[in-house]
């Protein structure tokens, strides 16, 4: 609805979303609560008659006086989420359970495994938080900022906390956990980074004064043998085993790269992926799976036929599958 049409009808200026809902334009909200109440009441009646469903109302902090009006029983808006300069509110019009998407359920964190040519790991001691003063050395970690890729975040955290410049190499492990700050869940991405060329152990270490009490290089085996680690659950030991294996070149993890992510609008997406195993055993397994699929019933005859296929046949199957998934 245009500004002129909204003014003539006594309604709030808004636009329809793609899910039969309405997004009220926050930059056209009246500052006077009484004027806002009258326009909101008229708008809700009209949108309900039109069969609209979810209503989104973003109230900037400069118009915080409108919030009490929106939460009154007659209007019935509820809080969805808030940022430092606004609060987002919603109302579900139909007499059914709301299908509006909830607020973000997870925070995203990153951790960095950086190893030098002496098989030493870059570690820090925190100046704040639960580990402060315990003498525990840990990998550099931090939260991902809004609009920031994992790769950018982990490189930034390493530089900020230690003064070391390193580049993302691979994703080593992912840990999901629940019950964190304000009831949110947590996704933690443990990444392997390589030092920038020509910046090995001679690169100067500089701890971030706000967050880090100390920074140093430590042998990987010494890191995992710290007493604090012995108290941690199996998930952490499993993750650190993979970190040690990555540092020793025995584990590759997943690669990462930013691609154009949408055909309809400018967008960049980060994709993480593992390598395809094109060895003889993998090729034979692919041939067996393809033969079973073509047979349609997955019986022993198909498996036997695939098992008897030559290496050339297996390679052809892998090549065909690769073309389909490229």
**Residues annotated as catalytic (active site), given as ranges:** 160
What is the distance between the alpha carbons of residues 20 and 98, in angstroms, rounded to a whole number?
Answer: 13
Contact predicate 54/91, CB 8 Å: yes
Q: Which helix (H) or strand (E) holds 280?
A: helix 280-295
Q: How many other CB atoms are found less than 10 A from the CB of residue 266?
A: 7
Q: Which secondary structure element, helix H or strand E, spans residue 301, and what is its range?
A: helix 300-307
Task: Name the 3-class secondary structure at 38.
Answer: helix
* CB hemisphere CA count around 168 (13 angstroms): 25
Residue with tokens 């007493």: 227
H-only helix segments in 50-140 = 67-71
Q: How many residues does the chain have?
A: 326
End-to-end CA distance of the chain: 44
Query: What distances in angstroms separate CA 190 from CA 218, 242, 283, one per listed residue?
Result: 18, 10, 31
* 222 CB-side CA count, 13 A: 11
d(CA 7, CA 161): 53
No. of helices (H) and no. of strands (E), the chain: 10, 13
């Amino acid at each position: 609805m245009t500004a002129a049409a909204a003014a003539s009808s006594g309604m709030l200026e808004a636009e329809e979303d793609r899910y039969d809902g309405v997004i009220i334009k926050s930059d056209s909200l009246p500052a006077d609560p009484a004027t806002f109440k009258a326009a909101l009441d008229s708008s809700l009646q009209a949108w309900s008659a039109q069969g609209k469903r979810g209503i989104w109302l973003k109230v900037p902090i400069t118009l915080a006086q409108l919030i009490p009006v929106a939460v009154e029983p007659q209007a019935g808006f509820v809080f969805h989420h808030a940022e430092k300069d606004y609060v987002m509110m919603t109302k579900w019009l139909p007499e059914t359970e709301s299908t509006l998407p909830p607020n973000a359920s997870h925070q995203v964190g990153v951790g960095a495994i950086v190893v030098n040519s002496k098989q030493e790991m870059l570690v820090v001691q925190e100046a704040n938080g639960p580990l402060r003063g315990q003498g525990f050395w840990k990998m550099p970690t931090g939260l991902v900022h809004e609009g920031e890729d994992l790769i950018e975040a982990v490189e930034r955290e390493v530089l900020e906390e230690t003064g070391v410049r390193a580049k993302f190499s691979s994703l080593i492990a992912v840990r999901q956990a629940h019950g964190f700050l304000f009831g949110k869940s947590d996704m933690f991405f443990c990444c392997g980074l390589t030092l920038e060329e020509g910046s090995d152990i001679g690169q100067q270490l500089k701890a971030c004064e706000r967050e880090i009490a100390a920074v140093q290089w430590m042998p990987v085996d010494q890191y995992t043998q710290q007493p604090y680690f012995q108290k941690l659950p199996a998930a952490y030991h499993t993750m650190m085993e993979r970190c040690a294996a990555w540092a020793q070149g025995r584990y590759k993890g997943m690669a990462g790269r930013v691609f154009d992510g949408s055909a309809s609008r400018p967008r960049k997406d980060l994709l993480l992926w593992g390598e395809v195993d094109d060895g003889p055993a993998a090729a034979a397994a692919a041939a067996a799976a393809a033969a079973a699929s073509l047979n349609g019933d997955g019986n022993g005859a198909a498996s036997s036929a695939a098992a008897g296929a030559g290496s050339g046949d297996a390679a052809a199957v892998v090549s065909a599958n690769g073309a389909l998934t490229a």
